[in-house]
A and B are shown apart, each in its own frame.
Chain A
């Protein structure tokens, strides 16, 4: 017995919660690393600007962590509330990483509390920095464990189904499924990348809004440099993800690339729009591109959608999501590379206002790429919740109240989203960096006297 309406609303509610949560989760995974690097640079160079940078980032970070924690709790519970049949099965096979995630999160939460309340408590700054290490590790490992569960949904293994019963369960094998390495690496590095570009956008924005303080210039240079490194890493890992798909989930790759017929020497379809069923218009076609991308060989055969029954093909609109993700990723590599070379060579362009506006735009763009990437990952797995094992509609709840809950959660996310933005703006506007530096100097002067 399937309740069609409940299935639909469960999908919408899950998508809403994940789309909202992922913004805060990405910051939660990426920003601790940035704080750590800034504080470390500050200690190394004995430069109070970097230390203050770390401190101010940490202050803003708490607000985003709070929203990340509560929305993470929401999605954790919603998995069981909206997809009870899936969780019953998943609980048997993939509960281990979910369980380990709570430990990672626990570890992070404890040390974040300590780190936040021990600024200047230690004579030796390095000891304080050391407290951040478990925060960063905990945050990144939370992402690792949760992404393992998602990888399992794409490439389930570590069990057999005999007469409808789960047998031969191997939790470790389930964790180390084929989708895991590329997916985990891609999620973690893009979180670092996004955090770097979001912080760069803030620094660029301050510079545009009249502050000419060296503090913001240092922040911009540091974050753009890190952004360059992480975005190149993200592109390389992204390429491996494509090769994984070609091997293990060819239908997802084929739908994302609009690759309808199985063939050798396959071309890569960029951009374009879809007319009728399978007529691609206005696209850029790169000869041999897809074969090269999928198998590192221009002549290789790439499996197309024709190999899959119609009711097992993902929706074709994921091509647009795929393009958004890839184009933004590439653009950020170019932008950060341009900035880095420009600073070293003394190019005027990178100091100009329009270039800084491009950097500001990079913040929201990086978030958009994260969203597009997750929609691609989730919609691209349709119609399965657990590939070739369980369909989405079989997994959903039969409860009749999902629509009402959807409305309530819309309101909740609206309140949390605006609340966090208002509070963050107010926090930094009331205490600009110039004033904080002055205050600190005055305080220190007082000590001497």
Chain B
């Protein structure tokens, strides 16, 4: 394995991490807001707040890690993506800012404030949609080079069915991932009512998720035939992903093994995400930028890899600690102890 592939694998893994923890987080915020609207907050708010509270800041770091890492390993991305993404990513930043700060305002300053809850629920749901545009653009066809400068064509972007399918996928996947996780979490907390409701949400969002995911592959055939061809060569990964999806839905439908259901879902998304990533290789941006012509110098690459390994030695034990204290601590999950400052 060369440094280029090592670098992108690390970044892709962190992006996967962000998509999973982010989806749980954003979906939870949305369900919380939705339950306020429909008068079901009695059922949901407690279990959602328990999960969200200690981890919200950690979620954000996954994203920061990804974009700082990609500039470090592939500095040319700053030129191509930086120039073209001003508008979509600025919207993403604003949504992230509203989501993060309003969450803190509500949780630590003004418990039960409806305005804050709605705003962060809604902002959270729109974040995946606005950030997913980056993946759409990476497929090519939306950026033109004018006088040696990349320019994004908004008209083509927003009239493309590919764009909107990816937006729909990001929304439904967010709600699906979140609902499956929270079903398990509520079950662990022994909250039967919340488990039942969240299980229903999970089953509702399963179908749109798988349909749009399939639809996107189909649309790529027209939009980016080269990528479509590559996807074909990775078909076993997508098949496994689909089988895992069936497994999750089966367990949810039969009301058993919610932990396993979430585990299979993790596998489903991992296979699909890495299959997609691998078939995207070697392009970072069709057809202008590959891993190889954007890669940093060997000295910086080595330094980054060493820093990464040292950083992991620090992070992994800390992550295990926070999970043991909160996510996997029975007393905490069941709400028997509240030790907030």
Question: A residues touching B (Cβ–Cβ < 8 Å)?
Answer: 1, 55, 58-59, 62-63, 65-67, 69-74, 76-78, 80-85, 87-93, 95-96, 98-103, 105-107, 109-121, 134, 166, 169-172, 397-399, 401-402, 404-405, 408-409, 412, 415-416, 419-420, 423-424, 426-427
Contacts and interface: CB of A to CB of B under 8 A. Distances in A.
A81 B92 CA distance: 12
Interface size class for chain B? Answer: 35 or more
A80 B93 contact: no
Nearest to A56: B341
Nearest to A405: B90
A110 B90 CA distance: 26
A119 B82 contact: no
Interface of B: 53-55, 57-58, 60-61, 63-65, 67-69, 71-76, 78-79, 81-87, 89-90, 92-94, 96-98, 100-105, 108-110, 147-149, 296-297, 299-300, 303-304, 307-308, 311, 314-315, 318-319, 321-322, 325-326, 337, 339-341
A398 B74 CA distance: 21
B67 A77 contact: yes
B87 A405 contact: yes
Contact of A95 (B57, B63, B72, B339): B72
Contacts, number: 234
B260 to A, nearest CB: 27
A100 B93 CA distance: 22
B109 A119 contact: no
B53 A117 contact: yes
Main secondary structure of the interface of A (DSSP, over half): helix
A71 B340 CA distance: 25
Given A66-B104, A114-B322, A74 B97 contact: yes
Nearest to A111: B318
A249 B109 CA distance: 46
Contacts of A74: 93, 96-97
A143 B89 CA distance: 25
Contacts of A59: 108, 341
B339 A118 contact: yes
B299 A171 contact: yes
Given A102-B64, A106-B65, A169 B299 contact: yes
19 contacts: A63-B109, A65-B57, A76-B64, A76-B67, A77-B92, A78-B93, A80-B82, A91-B75, A106-B58, A106-B315, A106-B318, A107-B314, A107-B318, A110-B315, A110-B319, A399-B86, A399-B87, A408-B94, A423-B108
A404 to B, nearest CB: 8
Contacts of A107: 314-315, 318
Contacts of A118: 325, 339
Contact of A62 (B73, B104, B326): B104
Main SS class of interface, B = helix
A142 B65 CA distance: 13
A398 B86 CA distance: 10
Nearest to A399: B86
Given A69-B57, A114-B54, A423-B110, A80 B100 contact: no
Contacts of B97: 70-71, 73-74, 412, 416
Contact of B83 (A71, A84, A95): A84
A103 B101 CA distance: 21
Contact of B90 (A58, A91, A106, A408): A408
A66 B108 CA distance: 10
Nearest to B152: A399
Given A62-B104, A95-B72, 10 more contacts: A63-B104, A76-B68, A78-B93, A81-B90, A87-B75, A99-B304, A114-B321, A134-B318, A171-B299, A399-B84
Task: Count chain B CB atoms within 10 A of each CB in A101, A110, A114 and give the residue with the most.
Answer: A110
A397 B83 contact: yes
Contacts of B100: 66, 69-70, 73
A105 B83 CA distance: 27
B82 A105 contact: no
A134 B63 CA distance: 21
